[in-house]
Amino acid sequence: MKEKKIEVLLNEYAESHQNKTNKLIHWICVPAIFFSIFGMIRAIPVPVFFEDFSSYINWANLILILVLIYYLFLSVPLFLGFIFWGLFVSFGNEFLFQLLGTKGLLWLSLGIFALAWVGQFIGHGIEGKKPSFFKDLQFLLIGPAWLMNFIFGTVKLKASEPMSKSNSDDIL
């Protein structure tokens, strides 16, 4: 039987993530990188009209919607998990934006981003393998999916149910 795209991507990602220490580092650094990227994007000013309407209409949430669509086409269960993660990222960054302001959120996000990438490269140094995204940038979005797949495995859900005509109607 032919492997589904999400299975191929997760298996390929797993090839360079075998070491226990590297895996542990990824559990900390991958969510931190994801969160901080959206924090940096949230710090980008939006047109005043959007701000007046709702602080949740911002570039970070627009990009987050596009990322969620990517996960939807890879795997419906992953997409559903990422809705919850996406809400945490959105509300968390909005809270920090209101608390720290644009510059504060930007500097905090840059700091988290830099430290988390240092951690990632330390993990890959321990692993002895290059990060997957050196081969294909798509793996920057597969890292979070790889972690989410472990969560689904814990609760006996499969993260390998790609969107198709047969199950696309079940979503609505």
Looking at residue 1, its pLDDT comes to 47
**Which range has the top average pLDDT, 11-15, 48-52, 151-155, 159-163?**
11-15
Quick: pLDDT tens for 84-98: 999 999 999 999 999
Is the pLDDT score of 30 beyond 90? yes
Mean pLDDT of the chain: 85
Ranking 19-23, 62-66, 115-119 by mean pLDDT, the lowest is 19-23
Q: Which of 83, 77, 84, 74 has the alpha carbon at shortest distance from 10?
A: 74
- Whole-number Cα distances in Å, 127 to 18, 98, 117, 141: 7, 39, 15, 20
